[in-house]
Structure 1
Amino acid sequence: MPKMTETDMSLADVARLAQVARPVVSMWRRRYRDADLPFPAPTDSSSSQPAFDPAEIGRWLHDTGRGNNPSAHLDADAFRTGIAADQSGTDALTALLCLKVLSGERLSGLSNAELLDLADDHDPHNQSLYREMEATGDQLAFLAATADALADAAYSPAAAFDLLLTSERRLGLQGGEIHRDAVSLVAAAVAALLGSRDGSRLVVDHSPGSSDILLKLSEGYGTVRCALAWGGFDTAASRRGLRRLHTHGLVLEAIDDDAGPVGQRSSALHLAQFPHAGNQDPGDVTILNAIDKICLRLTDDDRAVAFGPASALCDALSVEGAAGESEAVRSAILRTGRLRAVVRLPQGLLTSKPRQAMALWVLGPAHAEVALADRWTMVSDLSGTSLSTTDIEDLISDLAAAMGNRRSVEKHSFRFARLVRTSSMLAARGSLVKARPLPRNRTAQPADAVLHVENLLSLLEQPETVRSLDVQVIPTKKPESPVERVLGDLADAGAVVYLPGNRIEAADLRAGDPGSPGAVTVITAGSLFDGEPPAVMDRFRFSAHYPAGRLTEPGDVVFCTGPRPVALVDPDGAAVVAYPARILRIVGEGQTSRGQLGLVAGLLADDINSQPPTARRWRSWTVRAVDVDQRDLLRRTLDAVEQERLAALERVNQLTQLATLIMDGVASNTVTLGEHTPAAPMEGTPQCPRK
């Protein structure tokens, strides 16, 4: 099979150049094959993988106005496949792009010797680019001209560098990258921990070859002092990472094997990412040993952030074999008291292993003023969270609060996190995020505790809490058998409309208050079968990611068919129904024709709940219809009964709160119970004689 040359573009390259989806390019090829301006023909028609000339593609996009890149004819050179077809070619081009930035010169026209002299001037210790340029031999001058062309097409050497990396990743020449959401999260955590220290704290990176987080930190949070502790620059990954940082203009204060000048600073924030470019498949023991070494270097002014697989950082570990070594190292880190926060993150944050869950550690000084047995760690399990911008901001707020003392932690309202005793995490020898929560004093001030109790007692004594239902029932003079209808026939007649549920990604759902700003209620199968409270998701995310999604209307019946038929009525509407739950919407009172018997939502839901467990076909269900003059009365009566049921549940909830407040208050010595003394009878009031 003929191979693609260095001047070729694949169909995927064309799509990236035009800034369109890949199928759009195939459609262009078919639709405009015989047009006045035909889509360019492949350079080799016999190949099963068509390749195209970049100049022809760029010209066609410019002349026809297709795509979303008005500068496609100028950018085409930067999107060629062949330029990243092998490791050595990419290394040479990235070295030349780095040299362009360091020297500030245009490289075209320089001889091989002049280029190597220039490289020696800017890389005297051969840490980033000299070796890669020297390895090209006689091709160096040609590649230098290519690097200039790439930088011009991509508008900057840094953009051209990143385009080369994108092509290499697409061709499978590189792996182990973390998702951009993870990059944003870790960078935000580092920025929050740096705080306002007038630039006095240094970021020391321990992830050889990986540069995404440092660049995100530099681009999004201003000037940051950085140092690299990558253990030398002998590996291709470390050298490439250093080239990328230089090309993006990041100023490094130390790039020694152990970031030596770091020892002269007042404080540092250590950053570690696993996997990283230097080790794309580290084991749990390797990860924990690396973090342990960082932990041993920390002073009380230092902080550390580690991002890695949940299997190493928070999931349960065995006490035998290699896992036993991991457990021993992790326990040793816990005993230092420096582990201040553990966060289990959702899947999908490691691009090469999208099903692997990741985790985040934050380390700082141990609580010197707290007894060893009482020290705590903040833990959070975000396995089912989508990590929206708001989620990241709230998590960062929790992490920042976790670095404070006990008083500041008590004042913070944690959204995702909870506190556990570090000693219980050690004793449990299991998942760190499932440890028993540390009891918190929920009635810290005596006056507040008494006020809460008195308010609840007042609510429980209100007359409206004792209600009565005004329902009048009269015996029917001529009782008849209930009128039943087949649900499928009602659907065919338009009396009910069937609507499928929305296929919502589990990562988009979270527990929360449906009434919170920006949230939309999500009714799941768990809400139907297990009585779980509805989930919530971000309203804007639902609109953006599920444009075809639909919301319920008041009175919709939400149901599932398996493992048994079950249904409920949504009285409020404006909720998302997540598949496999579905919707039945009554239309026009559920009548097949004017004057006929109709449906009531509450009765329909009850009939569905009464179906046999094996009745999985909803169209075959028989449901009861109600006479026209009884329909409104039945609906209003059912609504009134439901209000009474909810009021009774609220009273039970208030009684539960009262018991909790009294127990917490007495146990924490913030309230004291007194003997109940009956009021003395007024003078002249008759009294019943004692028996």
Structure 2
Amino acid sequence: MSSTAQLATLSDIAELARVRRPVVSTWRTRFATSDTPFPAALDRRSGREVFSLDEVVAWLEGTGHGNNPTARQDAALAAALDVLDPPQRAVVTHGLVALLALKAQLGITLDGLAAADLIDLADDVDPDDLCLYREIAALGADAVLWAGHADALASAAFTPAQAATTILSRHRRLGLTAVTDHALAPTATALLGQLAAELVPADTAAPLVAPHGEADLLLALAAHRGEPGTAVLPTPAAPEARLARRVLLAGGWEIVEAETDDGAVLPPRGAAVLVVVPSATRPQATDADVVAALLQTEADLPPDGRALVVGPASALCGGLPAQLQADRATVLRSGRVRGIVRLPAGLWPSRVRQKMGLWLLGPGAGDVRSPDHRVALADLSATTLDAAAATDLVTDLLSTASKAARSHAFRFARLVPTTTVVAASADLLTVRPQSRRHRTDAGQTAAALHDLLARAGTGGDATLTAWQVVPGEVGGPVLVTLGRLVELGHLRLLPGNRLAEDDVTDAPGGVTVHTPWTLTAPLPGHRSIDRLGLAAAYPASRFTQPGDVVFCTAPRAAALVDRDGFAVVATPARALRVTQSAPPGLIPEVVAHAVRTSPGHGDWRAWPVPILPTAVAATARDALAEVDFTRHVLTARLAALDALTAGLVEATSSGAVSLLPPIRTTPMEG
């Protein structure tokens, strides 16, 4: 085992030399018969050749190959610990992190110390054997050799903290399954570290509490700040919790033992509680476990405390069974929830399709019944989480106070009354306040519509019914989001058909094709596909029905009502169909208008749609249908007039015809 610290695989050598892996194989072949051949492999372990690090470094220095002038200083980082047998590898890996933690806490050189001295020092730092004593003792006589390697690692990585981070970054190779299963992606670490840092300003002495002993958010915070802090942790009960402590100690953190009550951690006054569920210290957590952790965090949070809870979006943001929904609503009723966010998938590399959610809790309760008590909701599930997006999200969440909200231009978040979020029975982020649309003076609106009816109804082929326009109900129609209407089954979402661009033409006839171009063109456009070709190449195509709302969100939000049906929608355009279960006030024309006048950014499911009062829905539907029919008549006449203009110009200018004045007949007298 003692020689393993001086062994490296071909991949390790490539990383040390800062070249691609095939380059090392080329060196072995090209210089095999030269005066300076590449060092021969010493052994074959776990199916891979291993080489002497000293020989490889000497060869790199002697030949000048590679791109790392400090290869000798960095050599310790290239040691192939993963070639050890799994039980031995676990002992060495945990022992090395423990030695790095010991070195960071004492600030001394470990190389040259006897094994007994190392164990005595471990006992001084960890008298209750909470995280490192038994790991160093398990190294036995080889603790001396690995202590020297720990010094070399810290020197190569510049600090024990960075050396420990480097070891953990190789969790897959080293068999650290718990770390692999719950590691955060760099983008998640950057965002959560920034949010935690803003939650607890560096100029305050607020303790940081990890109630389950996990280190993920604490390390993210330290990476953002560039310095450690004080962590309050419970007594570790599992190996993963011991590892988290060792990593924090290697990073220079001060650890304070948490006060507990019946197993639950009681955060001290002014504390910031950072929770990730599931995590390495609490794996296999279900949605019920995540909600329970959220409930426990709020219940134990001191009045002046803050909390950041991170977990699967399915538990923190999505629809849940009734009991879990009620438990989540209990946290909302506390009045301490400042923000709820859904983040994109991929932030847990081991669960690439799972979206992440987070809750932000602040000090003070407040009266949740007040319309001014609001929660910031943000859905970034379809947003690229770059540095700018992360900063804007953090700014949004920190601007939820009433005074700051008045002057802040929110990019992602929207403020919704807490009572509305509490009442939600499904996905929290599709919630919109059951609000009423702002309306102008009823008399002015009625007069303006009278004028428009008079002007639009002029002409023999454009006569409109003289609808009575009277002031509406106080408050106006209720607003419901598109996403909520789909969830309730009042709207059915129909995805677009994947059609080859070459199959869709501008030729007349065939089956009408709705595309983003036809929806967003300044003038009505027409695309079609041959009927027989459609049946042969796309037998599973979905056709529209009369009244379907065809819409797209890019290049801009646009929508129309398909009056005739039996058309196909080409992706990325989609269609919404009003179902039989929809209330009478859900009218296709209103849905299309809501899409056209939407903000045009963010998730379209969050766009609000007015639901007309039942008493006026039928009349409004008839009026809109009549206006639409009249528009079609006038559009057809306008097209005929355009064609007539072109024909007259072409025919008269070519001399094909001549125009004479109309024959006027004079009535005969008598």
Range into which the TM-score falls when normalised by the shorter chain:
0.5 to 0.7
- Name the SS for the 2:198 alignment partner: helix
Question: What is the aligned counterpart of 1:142 among 142, 145, 148?
Answer: 145
Q: CA deviation at 1:294?
A: 1.2
Distance 1:47 1:350, change over 3 A: closer
The answer to whether 1:256 aligns with 2:270 is no
The yes-or-no answer on 1:318 pairing with 2:316 is no
After superposition, the C-alpha distances for 1:79-104 in whole angstroms (9 at most, x for unaligned) are: 11226842111111111122122222
**1:44 matched to which residue of 2?**
43
- Establish whether residue 181 from structure 1 lines up as the match of residue 187 from structure 2: yes
Contact 1:228 1:256 in 2 (8 A): yes
CA 249–365 in structure 1, closer or farther in 2 if over 3 Å, else same: closer
**1:201 and 2:206 correspond:** yes
Distance 1:158 1:224, change over 3 A: closer
CA displacement, residues 385-427 of structure 1 (integer Å, 9 cap, x when unaligned) = 111110001101111012x13x543432211112334333343
**Equivalent residue number for residue 283 of structure 1:** 286
Relative distance call for 1:612 and 1:246 in structure 2 (3 A) is same
State which of 147, 151, 154 in structure 2 corresponds to 1:151. Answer: 154
Is the CA contact (8 Å cut-off) linking 1:565 and 1:615 kept in structure 2?
no
**TM-score of the pair, normalised by structure 2:** 0.62
Q: Quick one: structure 1 residues 49 and 137, their matched pair in 2 at CA, closer, same or farther if it must change by over 3 Å?
A: closer
Tell me whether 382-391 or 171-180 shows the greater mean CA deviation. Answer: 171-180
In the alignment, structure 1 residue 614 sits paired with structure 2 residue 533 = yes
| Residue deviations 1:577-605 (CA, integer Å, cap 9, x gap) | xxxx9x9xxxxxxxxxxxxxxxxxx9xx9
CA deviation after TM superposition for structure 1 residue 383, in Å: 1.0
**Contact 1:209–1:277 at 8 Å: present in 2 too?**
yes
The correspondence for 1:221, drawn from 222, 225, 233, is 225
| Contact persistence 1:184–1:213 (CA under 8 A) | no
Equivalent pair of 2:193/2:223 in contact (CA under 8 Å): no
Offset at 1:348? 0.9
Q: Distance in 2 between matches of 1:62 and 1:328?
A: 66
Whole-angstrom CA distance in 1 between matches of 2:597 and 2:214: 56
SS in 2 for 1:428: coil
Instruction: Please say if residues 206 and 273 of structure 1, whose CA atoms lie closer than 8 Å, have aligned partners that are also in contact.
Output: no
CA-CA distance at 1:244 after TM superposition: 1.6
- Which of 364, 382, 401 matches 2:399? 401
Distance 1:115 1:41, change over 3 A: same
CA deviation after TM superposition for structure 1 residue 241, in Å: 1.6
SS of residue in 2 equivalent to 1:267: coil
- Show the 5 A alignment for 1:71-150: 71-82=70-81, 85=84, 86-150=89-153
Shift in Å, 1:204: 1.9
Counterpart of 1:60 in structure 2 is 59
Deviation readout 1:473-494 (Å, 9 max, x if unpaired): xxxxxxxxxxxxxxxxxxxxxx
Match of 1:303 in 2: 306
Alignment of 1:630-645 (within 5 A): none
1:192 corresponding residue in structure 2: 198
Aligned residue for 2:243? 240
Task: Please list, as runs of the form range in 1=range in 2, the aligned pairs for 1:530-545 lying within 5 A after superposition.
Answer: none
Match of 1:416 among 412, 418, 422: 412
Range that drifts further, 232-241 or 175-184: 232-241
Residue in structure 2 matched with residue 336 of structure 1 by the alignment? 334
Alignment-derived partner of residue 423 in structure 2: 427
Aligned with 1:614: secondary structure? helix
The letter for the 2-side match of 1:122 is V
Residue number in structure 2 paired with 1:552: none
Given the superposition, is the C-alpha separation of residues 442 and 124 from structure 1 closer, same or farther in structure 2, using an over 3 Å criterion?
farther
Please give the alpha-carbon distance, in whole angstroms, between the structure 2 residues aligned to 1:223 and 1:105: 20
Q: Counterpart of 1:381 in structure 2: which amino acid?
A: D
Does the aligned pair in 2 maintain the 1:57–1:73 contact within 8 Å? no
Q: Are the counterparts in 2 of residues 40 and 57 from structure 1 also a CA contact under 8 Å?
A: yes
TM-superposed deviation, 1:245: 1.6
Equivalents in 1 of 2:231, 2:404: separation in Å? 31
Once residues 616 and 306 of structure 1 are traced to their aligned partners in structure 2, the CA distance between those partners, rounded to angstroms, is 52
CA distance in 2 between counterparts of 1:24 and 1:437 reads 61
Gaps of 5+ in 1: 444-448, 462-527, 531-558, 568-580, 584-601, 619-651, 658-662, 664-691
- CA shift at 1:256, angstroms? 3.0
CA contact (8 A) 1:204 1:227 kept: yes
Amino acid in structure 2 at the alignment position of 1:80: A
2:360 to 335, 339, 362: 362
Structure 1 pair 251/656, CA: closer, same or farther in 2 (3 Å)?
closer
1:594-651 CA-to-partner distances (Å, cap 9, x unmatched) read: xxxxxxxx9xx98975666837999xxxxxxxxxxxxxxxxxxxxxxxxxxxxxxxxx
Pairing 1:363-378 to 2, within 5 Å after superposition: 363-365=361-363, 368-369=366-367, 371=369, 375-378=373-376
Residues 345 and 382 in structure 1, CA contact (< 8 A), matched pair in contact too: yes
- Which residue is equivalent to 1:504? none
1:362, 1:47 → 2: CA distance? 46
Q: In structure 2, how many angstroms separate the alpha carbons of the residues matched to 1:94 and 1:58?
A: 25
For residues 389 and 92 of structure 2, the distance between their equivalents in structure 1, rounded to whole angstroms, comes to 41
In the TM superposition, residue 442 of structure 1 has moved relative to its aligned partner by 7.5
Q: What is the SS of the residue equivalent to 2:399?
A: helix
Contact 2:259 2:266 in 1 (8 A): no
Taking only the aligned residue pairs, the percentage that are identical comes to: 35
Question: Does the CA contact (< 8 Å) of 1:107 and 1:148 recur in 2?
Answer: yes
Q: Which residue of 2 aligns with 1:13?
A: 12
Q: What is the CA–CA distance in structure 2 between the aligned matches of 1:26 and 1:215, rounded to whole Å?
A: 37
- Rounded to whole Å, the distance in 2 between the matches of 1:131 and 1:379 is 46
Secondary structure of 1:241 counterpart: helix
Contact kept, 8 Å, 1:185 with 1:392, in 2: the verdict is: yes
Offset of residue 560 of structure 1: 6.5
Q: Deviation of residue 257 (structure 1)? A: 5.2
> How far 1:46 moved relative to its partner?
9.7
Shift of 1:26: 4.4
CA displacement at 1:344 relative to structure 2:
0.7
Provide the C-alpha distance between the structure 2 equivalents of 1:385 and 1:268, rounded to a whole number of angstroms. Answer: 32
1:565 partnered with 2:504: yes
Partners of 1:343 and 1:360 within 8 A in 2: yes
Distance 1:240 1:87 in 2: 12
**Cα 1:388–1:30, aligned 2, differ >3 Å: closer, same or farther?**
farther
The separation in 2 between residues aligned to 1:616 and 1:187, in whole angstroms, is 54
Give CA deviations for 1:256-299 in whole Å, capped at 9, x if unaligned.
Answer: 35499x97964222111123221233212222212211101223
| Pair 1:415–1:177, CA change in 2 (3 A) | same
1:347 paired to 2:345: yes
Residue number in structure 2 paired with 1:388: 386
The residue type equivalent to 1:185 in the other structure is: L
User: AA paired with 1:256?
Assistant: A
Amino acid at match of 2:279: H
Q: Which amino acid aligns with 1:126?
A: D
Deviates more, 1:171-180 or 1:37-46: 37-46
Distance 1:442 1:32 in 2: 80
Offset, 1:205:
2.2
The runs of 5 or more residues in structure 2 that have no matched partner are 453-494, 507-514, 538-592, 599-609, 611-670
Distance 1:106 1:425, change over 3 A: same
Cα offset, 1:370, TM superposition:
5.0
Counterpart-to-counterpart distance in 2, 1:47 and 1:437: 60
In the alignment, what sits opposite 2:461?
none
- Local SS of the residue matching 1:192: helix
Q: Give 3-state SS (helix, strand or coil) of 1:232's partner.
A: coil
Q: Is the 8 A contact 1:377 1:421 kept in 2?
A: yes
Contact 2:269 2:304 in 1 (8 A): yes
Instruction: For 1:64 and 1:607, locate their aligned partners in 2 and report how far apart those are by CA, in whole Å.
Output: 69
Corresponding pairs, count: 473
